[in-house]
Amino acid sequence: MSATLNSTEPATGALLWEGSSGDVAEEVARARAGWPRWAAQPIAVRIETLRRFVNVIRAHEDSLVDLIARETGKPLWDARGEVASVMAKVDISVTAYSERTGQKRLDAAMGARQSLRHKPHGVMAVLGPYNFPAHLPNGHIVPALLAGNAIVFKPSEKTPAVGEMLVRFYHEAGVPTDAIRLLLGGAEEGKALAAHPDVNGILFTGSAQTGIAINRQFAAQPGKILALEMGGNNPVIVWDTPEIANAAALVVQSAFMSSGQRCTAASRLIVRDSLADVVIAEVKKIADRLIIDHPHADPTPYMGPVIDNEAADGLTESFLYLMSHGGRPIKHMVRPVKDRPFLTPAIIDVTAMEERPDVELFGPLLQVIRVPDFPAAIAEANNSRYGLSAALIGGSPDHYNQFWSNIRAGIINWNRPTNGASSSAPFGGVGISGNHRPSAYYAADYCAYPVVSAEIEQPRASIGVGLKDIDTSAMGD
């Protein structure tokens, strides 16, 4: 029996959407049956279909922006940026497909042709997150469809309405209904989808805990492709710079954009102790001015709520844990609206803590660590199992070269925020931030596999060594 699902607006608590959980076996079977026909389409047809998808999104842009804002709580400007990324993904993926998985002719002996081409894997499960419920799953779906795969997409149970609208737009654009299927549900449906024997690959964006569980589940199944994007505990280092106000603005953008609910958000501010007081004061001054309100508020908010009360409770408890274990509050975390998951941005100095938890604090909570010298700053930045994003603000070119050479991260920036990565570049990390299958521009790599063929129109071969001589005496006249 299908379970009833519902989605409420984080900012208001109003019921936004109702539905039922789906049937995993049925959705996988539909995608399996529809895959051969979609894969057999010429690449030009698949490209044209996905470009129609962009036109459909553009025609319904305001509706999708509004739905994302309501279901996630993010401000309209943030939701509009997400929808722009959804539309930009198609042209980026077409270019990436041609560059990274296109056909090539290679040198071959004896007049043969040697060709490099790529084949789709089959049915791919896409497990989406709630923080970017359209952009991040779309970043897997578009290149996978382009390569000729069929998709079963399970959106986060916290953002089913956006997932449903996204799939409807694919179908409206002409992607066959059996080439992309929507599976609604919670953790149990996600586990069953990932474990289904007719699923050839799992494309996952979410927590490290869940990603590691998926990786462990398929350790003995190398035939399934896994692409795991699993978040971060990202450092931003502020070093010698006269541009204190600009540095502080970059720190605030890194830590508090999207209410800190970005996998590339900065969780740790590492700062030279002689510069720390002035930098922290400027960061706090900006954080104190940030408007926190519902998505449609006037004046425009910088931050909305986090996704739900459970997430807000967990972040509040994390702040209290840090404070009770040696952290010194600089800006307290406050719940300004009773029973709603709004949080004020929090800053806490954890320099004196003996053991700092190495966890992803998915929200507006910034930890400050003071260090005496640059090697200590790099060592502290690397003091994490994660390795997604890192930024250096200030410093000299020599400092940046040292930073770039020694930091463990897949995204390394100088005088830019830790977040806001471009879709026209690869996106991924090391450690428990990923499994070395970066997405964005490099998503083409895990959506198809290379096939090398030596080809000639007529069989031609000879064996020149290792044969017995022919016994001519036994042959007749």
Residue with tokens 């720190």: 251
Coil, helix or strand at residue 335: coil
Nearest to 238 by CA among 226, 256, 250: 250
Contacts of 8 (CB under 8 A, 6+ apart): 14, 15, 16
Coil, helix or strand at residue 374: helix
If 0-12 CB within 10 Å is exposed, 13-18 middle and 19+ buried, where does residue 48 land?
A: middle
Backbone angles phi, psi at 452, to 5 degrees: -105, 130
Task: Answer for the pair 169, 60: CB distance below 8 angstroms, yes or no.
Answer: yes
Q: Is the dihedral of CA 74, 78, 83, 88 positive or negative?
A: negative
Nearest to 134 by CA among 190, 53, 189, 255: 53
- The number of C-alpha atoms within 13 Å of 18 and in the hemisphere containing its C-beta is 3
Residue environment code for 269-305, b if the CB has 16+ CB neighbours within 10 A, otherwise e: bbbbeebbeebbebbbebbeeeebbbbeeeeebbbbb
Give yes or no: 282 in active site. no
Q: How many CB atoms lie within 10 A of CB 390?
A: 30
Residue with tokens 């930045």: 381
**Peptide bond preceding 459: is omega within 30 degrees of 0, i.e. cis?**
no
| Cα distance between residue 184 and residue 84, in whole Å | 25
Nearest to 161 by CA among 12, 8, 311: 8
| Cα distance between residue 385 and residue 123, in whole Å | 32
Task: Calculate ∠ Cα 24-27-28, nearest 5°.
Answer: 85
Catalytic residue among 9, 71, 82, 263: 263
How far is C-alpha 18 from the geometric centre of its chain's CA atoms? 26
| Cα distance between residue 96 and residue 445, in whole Å | 9
Q: Which residues pair with 154 in a beta bridge?
A: 127
Contacts of 393 (CB under 8 A, 6+ apart): 236, 237, 238, 239, 241, 247, 250, 251, 414, 415
Catalytic residue among 71, 82, 157, 229: 229
Nearest to 192 by CA among 31, 373, 23, 41: 23
Helices (H) then strands (E): counts for the chain: 14, 21
Here the tokens at position 76 are 């309209």
Give yes or no: 263 in active site. yes
Active-site annotation, residues: 229, 263
